[in-house]
Amino acid sequence: MHGPSEDDLHAHFEALLAAGRQIEPRDWMPDGYRRMVLRQIAQHSHSEIIGMQPEGAWLTRAPSLHRKASLLAKVQDEAGHGLYLYAAAETLGADRANLLDALHRGHQRYAATFNHPALTWADTGAIAWLTDGAAVVNQAPLCHTSYGPYARAMRRVCQEEAFHVRQGYDVLWSLCQGTPEQKEMAQDAVNRWWLPAVALMFGPPDTAAGGADARTAAMGAAVSRRSMAWGIKQHTNDELRQRFVDNCVPQAERLGVTLPDPAIRWNEERGHYDFSAVDWQQFRDELADDSACARQRLAHRVAAHENGAWVREAVDAYAAYSAAHRAREETP
C-alpha cells in the first residue's frame, strides 16, 4: 500500500487553509511554508529579547519605585515573549540553541528599531507607547495566523503588549503634565522614536503606491504575497502602517505632543491620516546597520548568554541526574 502522494498532501494542506483551519505541528506542510513561518518566528523572538535592552538600560535609573516596578515587569514580559516564540519555533523542528547561535553570529535578523539608543527616561515612555503600539497593530492579526502554535503565543503576547502601551503612555502623560523641561524631554523622545516605529516595525512597503522606490517595493511585495497566500500575514505592511498612524494622531493630541511629520493631516476622502512617505533608502541603510549601538546590542546579548552558561549546565546536570535516578529505581 502506498501512502498519500506529495500532490495529495499539498491539496490537503491547501484545503485546510481554505477552510480557515490552522496548521498544527503534526500536519504535513510544504517546506517553503515551514521556512517562512520559522523565519518570521525566529526574527520575532530575536526582536523580543534584543528589544529588552533599550528600556532595560533605565531600570537602575527609574525615577520612583513604582516606575521601576512597572518597567521591570515590562522588560521581563518581553523576555517571556521571546520564550513563547522560541517554543513555537521548536514545534517546527528548530533547535533553540541553533536559533540563538544564528542571532549571535548575525545570521538571523531582529527588528532594527532596537538599534536606536534610549537617551533619556522619556524614551522608556516613547518606546512603550510607539514601538509596543506598533507591535500590537502588527501582531493582533497574527493571533489568527495560519500556524497554530504561533497564533496561540501571539494571543498572550498581544494582551501584554497592549498593557505596555498604556504604561508608556502613562510615563509620557506624567512628563507632559510636569515642568517645561519634562515636557520637552517627552517631545524629544517622541521625535526620535516616531520614524523607527512607522518605518521599521511594519517592514518594507508591499507596493510602490506608498512612494516606495521599486527596489524596496519589490523586496516587500514578494514576501507579502506568499505570506498572505499562506495565511501567515493577514494584512499588507502598508495597511498596518496606516492603522498605526491613525491610532497615534489622536493619542498624541491628547498628550499634547507633536508627531514629527508636517505632512500628517486628516484626509476626508480616504478616511485616514496622510503622512510622509518613508525614506526607503534610509530603511535599507538601517537594515544594514553596523553602528556602535547595533554592535553593542549584539555584544550584550552574547555576554548575557555566556553568563547564563552555568544555568544551562545545571539544568542539563539535573536532567541527567533525574534520568539516572529513575533508571535505578526501575531496575528490579
195 vs 219 by CB, closer to ligand FAQ:
219
In whole angstroms, the minimum distance from the beta carbon of 253 to ligand FAQ comes to 23
CB 165 within 8 A of CB 129: yes
55 vs 183 by CB, closer to ligand FAQ:
55
Q: Quickly count: other Cβ atoms within 10 Å of residue 132's Cβ.
A: 28
Which positions ≥6 away from 44 have C-beta within 8 Å? 85
Distance between first and last Cα of the chain: 42
In whole angstroms, the minimum distance from the beta carbon of 81 to ligand FAQ comes to 7
44 vs 297 by CB, closer to ligand FAQ:
44
Q: Which of 94, 88, 77, 182 is nearest to 135 (CA)?
A: 77
53 vs 183 by CB, closer to ligand FAQ:
53
In whole angstroms, the minimum distance from the beta carbon of 157 to ligand FAQ comes to 8
CA dist 226 and 174 (Å) reads 44
125 vs 203 by CB, closer to ligand FAQ:
203
Q: Quickly count: other Cβ atoms within 10 Å of residue 204's Cβ.
A: 25
In whole angstroms, the minimum distance from the beta carbon of 288 to ligand FAQ comes to 10
- Only one residue has cell 517631545, namely 187
In whole angstroms, the minimum distance from the beta carbon of 324 to ligand FAQ comes to 40
CA dist 72 and 185 (Å) reads 21
Q: Return the half-sphere exposure (C-beta side, CA atoms, 13 A cut-off) of residue 256.
A: 14
Locate the DSSP E strands across the chain: 265-267, 272-274
In whole angstroms, the minimum distance from the beta carbon of 84 to ligand FAQ comes to 12
In whole angstroms, the minimum distance from the beta carbon of 72 to ligand FAQ comes to 14
**Interface positions with ligand FAQ (CB under 6 A):** 39-40, 43-44, 47-48, 51, 78, 109, 111-113, 127, 131-132, 135, 138-139, 200, 202-204, 219-220, 223-224, 237, 287
CB 119 within 8 A of CB 186: no
123 vs 132 by CB, closer to ligand FAQ:
132
215 vs 326 by CB, closer to ligand FAQ:
215
Three-class SS of residue 147? strand
Q: Buried b vs exposed e over 6-40: b needs ≥16 C-beta within 10 Å?
A: eeeeeeebeebbeeeebbeeeeebeeebeebbbbb
Give the sign of the dihedral formed by CA 141, CA 146, CA 150, CA 155.
Answer: positive
124 vs 183 by CB, closer to ligand FAQ:
124
- Only one residue has cell 528589544, namely 51
In whole angstroms, the minimum distance from the beta carbon of 306 to ligand FAQ comes to 22
In whole angstroms, the minimum distance from the beta carbon of 231 to ligand FAQ comes to 14
